[in-house]
Amino acid sequence: MAANESNMAAIETLKKWIDESDNIVFFGGAGVSTESNIPDFRSTDGLYNQQYAYPPETILSHTFYRRNTKEFYRFYRNKMLYPDAKPNRAHKKLAELEAEGKLKAVITQNIDGLHQKAGSKEVLELHGSVLRNYCEGCGKFYGVDYILKTEGVPKCEDCGAVIKPDVVLYEEGLNGVTMSKAVDYIRKADVLIVGGTSLTVYPAAGFIDYYRGNKLVLINKDETAMDYKADLCIHGKIGEVLGVISTETDISTDIEEDDKTVKTD
C-alpha cells in the first residue's frame, strides 16, 4: 500500500518505541514471508483462493495425512516447500534487533525457517518447520532435501517407515514447552510487535491476550479482527514498514526500485 500520513506518523512512533526498548518481542504469521514469495493462506492470492480438490486446512490435517499420505505429499511438495526463498527485510530487521540486544524473541506461526536464515537465534516455531522431518518408525532425522528428492510418500532409508514433517498439522496439538515459553516472553514484553498474521488460527491467535504492556503494535497489510486491541496499528507490508525502521545506512539500498511505497523520511 502507498505511504500515507497516518502511517508515517505511526511508523515514527514505532521507531521511537523500538529505540527506547530492550525488551521487544515479535509475533508473526504467514504475512511475514509473502515478500519472500511464499504465499500466505488468506490473502486474495493466498492458498485459500486457489483451486484445489480440498481446502488447505483439510489437506494439512492429521486425518488427511494418515488416510491420504500420498496426496498430502503431492500438495505439500507443491505448495509448502520453498527451498530457494530468501529472508526479506522484515526477517533481517528482526535479526538485527536481536543482535543489538533489543529484541528477546521471535515467535512465529511460520514453518519456513526464514527467521533463522536471516540470523535470528531465539525463534519459537509454534507450528514446527518444514526443514525438519522424522521417520515415524525409528525417529531418524531427514532434511528438506530428502523430501524434495524423493517422490510419492518419503520412506526411511533405514527402516522403510513413512517420514513425517516436523510440522504441526491441523488437529494436532502445539508443543507445550514452546507454547509456555512464547507466553512467558509475551507476558514480560515491553513492546509486542504482531505482524503478518490474520490472528484467526488458535491457540496462537490468543497469545496477544497475555501481553500486559501498553505498546502493542499490529502491522498487517489488511485490517484484522484484532486491530481494536492495538496501541499502534500500521496497515502496510511488513518488509516495507520494518525496512524503513532500519538503521539509516541500509534503507536506501535495501528498498528495490519498484517497491518504494514507503518513504524513508
Ligand X SMILES: NC(=O)c1ccc[n+]([C@@H]2O[C@H](COP(=O)([O-])OP(=O)(O)OC[C@H]3O[C@@H](n4cnc5c(N)ncnc54)[C@H](O)[C@@H]3O)[C@@H](O)[C@H]2O)c1
Of 10, 76, 98, 112, the residue at the interface with ligand X (CB under 6 A) is 112
Q: Tell me: does residue 198 bind ligand X (CB under 6 A).
A: yes
User: Which string of x and - marks every residue 226-265 that binds ligand X (by CB under 6 A)?
Assistant: -----------xx---------------------------
Q: Can you read off the three cell numbers belonging to residue 20?
A: 527506547
Of 111, 131, 189, 255, the residue at the interface with ligand X (CB under 6 A) is 111
Quick one: what does residue 38 bind among ligand X, Zn ion, none, with the CB cut-off 5 to 8 Å set by partner type?
ligand X
The nearest distance, CB 138 to ligand X, in angstroms, is 27
| Cβ atoms of residues 165 and 132 within 8 Å | yes
Q: Tell me: does residue 129 bind ligand X (CB under 6 A).
A: no
134/210 with CB nearer Zn ion: 134
H, E, C per residue of the chain: CCCCHHHHHHHHHHHHHHHHCCCEEEEECHHHCHHHCCCCCCCCCCHHHCCCCCCHHHHCEHHHHHHCHHHHHHHHHHHCCCCCCCCCHHHHHHHHHHHCCCEEEEEECCCCCHHHHHCCCCEEECCEEEEEEEECCCCCEECHHHHHHCCCCCECCCCCCEEEEEECCECCCCCHHHHHHHHHHHHHCCEEEEECCCCCCCCHHHHHHHCCCCCEEEEECCCCCCHHHCCEEEECCHHHHHHHHCCHHHHHHHCCHHHCCCCCC
Q: Can you read off the three cell numbers belonging to residue 68?
A: 491420504
155/187 with CB nearer Zn ion: 155
Of 3, 13, 46, 250, the residue at the interface with ligand X (CB under 6 A) is 46
Q: Tell me: does residue 42 bind ligand X (CB under 6 A).
A: yes
Q: Tell me: does residue 109 bind ligand X (CB under 6 A).
A: yes
10 Å CB burial of residue 181 (0-12, 13-18, 19+) is middle
Select the span of 103-111, 137-145, 155-163, 243-251 touching ligand X (CB under 6 A): 103-111
Of 13, 43, 58, 68, the residue at the interface with ligand X (CB under 6 A) is 43
109/156 with CB nearer ligand X: 109
145/158 with CB nearer Zn ion: 158
Q: Which of residues 136-195 bind Zn ion (CB under 5 A)?
A: 137-138, 140, 156, 158-159, 161
Q: How many residues of this chain interact with Zn ion, rule: CB under 5 A?
A: 8
**Which residues in this chain contact ligand X in the complex, by CB under 6 A?**
29-31, 33-35, 38, 40-43, 46, 109-112, 127, 196-198, 200-201, 220-222, 224, 237-238
